[in-house]
């Protein structure tokens, strides 16, 4: 339990999704990175998403770019919360990814983050927040993260001198 799947559509998404796994690691969370392409690996997508809950996953983070059907198709096959990260694509700068992830039909939700790096990091934090509801250690790790972030923001004013 409390395991997070970090799924991406292609190895080309890894530089972005690595920001997710780095933050999960920093927060002390258990995660598994995977490449599952909605279009190139439809069978694998179905098998993974249908078994994810019984395989011990609690949250799925899914990053994809372009015609980014991965998060929505994972969500179609599971009631685990799915967080979608729109990868910044070359052609349309991630607007394509964002719109194809965020515009889910009613009944099958995907919690969609910002495009690119900020979204990848926030996906990790959102997953941690979901798990923190029932885990005091994760909650404390998140509070520590926030505290450090605040201190760094305050300290950054030193650079103005
Ligand atoms: C999507 O297509 C992936 O998520 C990736 O962002 C995009 C391009 O994939 P590659 O052609 O770089 O493998 O499925």
CA distance 25 to 28: 5
Q: Which of 115, 124, 21, 121 is nearest to 65 (CA)?
A: 115
Domains of the chain in start order, with CATH, are 3-160 (3.40.50.1970)
Whether pTM exceeds 0.95: yes
Q: Which of 50, 31, 44, 11 is nearest to 128 (CA)?
A: 31
The SS3 assignment for 117 reads helix
Positions in the chain short of pLDDT 70: none
Consult the annotation and say whether 10 binds a ligand: yes
Q: Are 38 and 13 in contact (CB under 8 A)?
A: no
- Predicted pLDDT of residue 1: 73
CA of 68 relative to ligand 1 center, distance in Å: 8
The two three-digit tokens of residue 3, written as one number: 């395991």
Establish how many alpha carbons lie within 13 A of residue 25's alpha carbon, considering only the half-sphere containing its beta carbon. Answer: 8
111-112 and 82-86 strand pairing: parallel
The two three-digit tokens of residue 72, written as one number: 């929505």
- Predicted pLDDT of residue 128: 98
Interface pTM (ipTM) of the complex?
A: 0.97
Mean pLDDT of the chain: 98
- Predicted pLDDT of residue 120: 99
Ramachandran angles phi, psi of 66, nearest 5°: 70, -130
Sign of the alpha-carbon torsion through 47, 52, 56, 60: positive
Give the residue carrying structure tokens 């760094």.
152
- Predicted pLDDT of residue 98: 98
Give the residue carrying structure tokens 């998060």.
71
Q: Are 123 and 23 in contact (CB under 8 A)?
A: no
Pocket lined around ligand 1, Cβ cut-off 6 Å: 9-10, 12-13, 37, 64-66, 87
**In DSSP terms, which residues pair with 83 in a beta bridge?**
61, 111
- Predicted pLDDT of residue 2: 87
Question: Measured from the CA of 40, which atom of ligand 1 is nearest?
Answer: 14
CA of 97 relative to ligand 1 center, distance in Å: 10
- Predicted pLDDT of residue 38: 98
């Amino acid at each position: 339990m409390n395991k997070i799947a970090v799924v991406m559509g292609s190895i080309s998404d890894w530089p972005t999704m690595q920001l997710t796994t780095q933050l999960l690691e920093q927060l002390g969370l258990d995660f598994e990175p995977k490449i599952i392409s909605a279009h190139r690996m439809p069978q694998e997508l179905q098998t993974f998403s249908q078994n994810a809950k019984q395989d011990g996953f609690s949250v799925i983070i899914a990053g994809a770019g372009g015609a980014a059907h991965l998060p929505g198709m994972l969500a179609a096959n599971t009631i685990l919360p799915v967080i979608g990260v729109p990868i910044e694509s070359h052609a349309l700068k991630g607007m394509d990814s964002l719109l194809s992830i965020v515009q889910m039909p009613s009944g099958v939700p995907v919690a969609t983050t910002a495009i690119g790096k900020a979204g990848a990091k926030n996906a990790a934090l959102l997953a941690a927040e979901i798990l923190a509801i029932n885990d005091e250690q994760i909650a404390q790790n998140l509070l520590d993260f926030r505290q450090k972030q605040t201190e760094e923001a305050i300290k950054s004013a030193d650079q103005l001198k």
